[in-house]
Amino acid sequence: MQASTLAALQAARTARKPIVLATRLGDAAETLVYPDKAEGAQAGDATLVAAARRALGTGKSETIDVGADKVFLNVYVPPPRLVIVGAVHIAQTLAPMATMLEFDVTVVDPRGAWATAARFPGVKVIKEWADEAFQEMGLDVSTAVVTLTHDPKLDDPALESALKSDAFYIGALGSRKTHAKRKERLAAVGITDEMFARVHGPVGLNIGAKSPAEIAVSILGQIVEVRARRLESLAAPKVAA
Amino acid sequence: MSDALEVLNQVGKWKEAGKGVAVATVITTWGSSPRPVGSQLGVDDSGAMVGSVSGGCIEGAVVKEALDAIKDGKPRLLDFGVTDEQAWDVGLACGGKVQVFVEKVG
């Protein structure tokens, strides 16, 4: 691997941009394929570039035949992101655990006493209303959102905004009763039952979690499961019509 | 996937420190194998490792090849598995097979 290739892979990751490194196994010649351009030894090879673009879509690394050569396509996709609404006690255990699971974690809370860097070492903390913060960061299909404040004036706008995004997971802390009331309030702002069904609430897997750390495990267990099922369904061969 | 970043970052740090470095990548798997295609192991010239290409079964042999690749600069394609005809002295306890590509960085 060339030093310049290493730098390009690191730069793509920092910018959260997907990239494929195609390595010809015979001589280790390298080609970098981006969604919109290709650079390197075989950048002009239409077969290779097309296969790499397909791999960008599925996220699956594989070896392909290009003419007489074996070429390995290594897909580097940006890691999933977790946005935690509410810089509360549970968030303080959820954030480091999610970081360990290789999520890019962002904590959002407009309340200055909660949203401090000191409470969340090494995690991005945004002191803003969630719906405003979401607009700036853009919730894509690799993003999970969890609301933890219990406070309708903070959680509701966050959920409303998340439900209008492509986020692959949306969860809301609160009892069944709280969740039912939440559904009624959001219905009043145009969130249909069908849309609301995307919200996991009460949030997390039912493992009898009580402490903040246990609740964090239950939430992350559910997020990992939902993400894995989604990726499995993307990777599965399409049934012929 | 971002364990890939951990490997790339450490490899970058080793390079900056002037070390010889190689990267091993799982490029094919058959049957049950512990790490998916694309998994990487970085190795420096003292044999220090970051990341993994198996559950620990073949890392020793991969590091040896990586050290050779750092010396001679040539890429290598390695096959590991219980039925492997090349008779590697390491197999995978799980009975799977993996193919690993090893190359020098730099």
Note whether A96 and A210 are same-domain residues: yes
The answer, yes or no, to whether residue B87 has pLDDT greater than 50, is no
Q: Which of A76, A91, A116 is the last residue of a domain?
A: A76
Note whether A98 and A215 are same-domain residues: yes
The alpha-carbon gap from A91 to the nearest alpha carbon of chain B, in Å, equals: 22
Give the pLDDT score at A5: 95
Please give the ipTM for the structure prediction: 0.83
Per CB-CB distance under 8 Å, the chain B contacts of A23 are: 25, 101, 103
In a domain, A238, yes or no: no
In a domain, A38, yes or no: yes
How many Cβ pairs within 8 Å bridge chains A and B? 58
Calpha distance B46→B19 (Å, rounded): 9
The domain containing residue A209 runs over which residues? 81-232
In a domain, A240, yes or no: no
Note whether A91 and A157 are same-domain residues: yes
The residue type found at B106 is G
Per CB-CB distance under 8 Å, the chain B contacts of A1 are: 23, 103-106
Per CB-CB distance under 8 Å, the chain A contacts of B37 are: 60-62
Contact A79 B12 (CB under 8 A): no
Note whether A56 and A107 are same-domain residues: no
Percentage of the residues of chain B whose pLDDT score is greater than 70: 84
Rounded to 10 degrees, the C-alpha dihedral B45/B49/B51/B55 comes to 130
The answer, yes or no, to whether residue A213 has pLDDT greater than 50, is yes
Note whether A22 and A116 are same-domain residues: no
- Partners of residue A81 on adjacent β-strands: A104, A143
Note whether A62 and A105 are same-domain residues: no
Count of structural domains, chain A: 2
Per CB-CB distance under 8 Å, the chain B contacts of A74 are: 25, 38
In a domain, A237, yes or no: no
- Nearest by CB: A63 against B12, B28, B106: B28
Calpha distance A31→A12 (Å, rounded): 14
In a domain, A151, yes or no: yes
Cβ within 8 Å of B, A 140-179: none
Note whether A193 and A111 are same-domain residues: yes
The answer to whether B24 touches B41, Cβ cutoff 8 Å, is yes
Nearest to A198 by CA among A171, A231, A225, A237: A171
Each residue's pLDDT tens digit, A122-179: 899 999 999 999 999 889 888 999 999 999 999 999 999 999 999 999 999 999 999 9
Chosen for mutation from B27, B72, B74, B79 (greatest number of chain A CBs closer than 10 Å) is B27
pLDDT band, very low/low/confident/very high, at A8 (cuts 50, 70, 90): very high
Contact A1 B106 (CB under 8 A): yes
Note whether A122 and A49 are same-domain residues: no
The answer, yes or no, to whether residue A186 has pLDDT greater than 60, is yes
In a domain, A239, yes or no: no
Give the pLDDT score at B85: 46
Q: Residue A108: which CATH number?
A: 3.40.50.720
Note whether A71 and A95 are same-domain residues: no
Which regions of chain A does DSSP assign to beta strands (E)? 19-24, 30-33, 38-40, 62-66, 69-76, 81-85, 104-108, 124-126, 143-147, 169-172, 199-200
Chain centroid, CA A201 distance in Å:
19
Note whether A143 and A228 are same-domain residues: yes
pLDDT band, very low/low/confident/very high, at A236 (cuts 50, 70, 90): low
Using the Cβ of B101 and the Cβ atoms of chain A, whether some distance falls under 8 Å is answered with yes
Each residue's pLDDT tens digit, A58-70: 888 999 999 999 9
Contact A13 B8 (CB under 8 A): yes
